Amino acid sequence: MPFSCTGPVIEWRGPAPFVFLAVPDEESEDLKEAARGLEYWGQVAVDVRIGGTDFRTALFPKDGRYLVPLRIAVRRAEGIEVGQELTAVLELASRDGTRS
């Protein structure tokens, strides 16, 4: 079952800067419920569609919500900038790589 969410694009500075889509609290709760048993070290594998770009990643848990890592290739392909509101469609993937 796909989940759609709209949230801000944020930058988190660790040893290197990382850019994420911040999944809103309500959608994060829905994803947590649907992903029970699919988590691995708190992360959840998902297939993501942003605009015309599809990719697979793992949701990153942070402060009670999920963050969707946005690789530079995805950001370039879709013209994504830090601070913008972005909509994504997320579909859970099982540990073996198939969709749930």
Sequence-ordered list of residues with C-beta below 8 angstroms from that of 49, at least 6 positions apart, any chain: 88, 89
- Is pLDDT above 60 for 5? yes
Taking the CA atoms of residue 31, residue 34, residue 38 and residue 44 in that order, the dihedral angle to the nearest 10 degrees is -10
pLDDT confidence tier of residue 43, bands split at 50, 70 and 90? confident
Give pLDDT tens digits for 59-85: 988 898 999 999 999 999 999 999 999
pLDDT at 28: 92
Lookup: tokens for 87: 């909509």
The string of DSSP letters for 31-87 reads: HHHHTTTT-BTTBEEEEEEETTEEEEEEEEEETTEEEEE--HHHHHHHT--TT-EEE
| pTM check: above 0.75 | yes
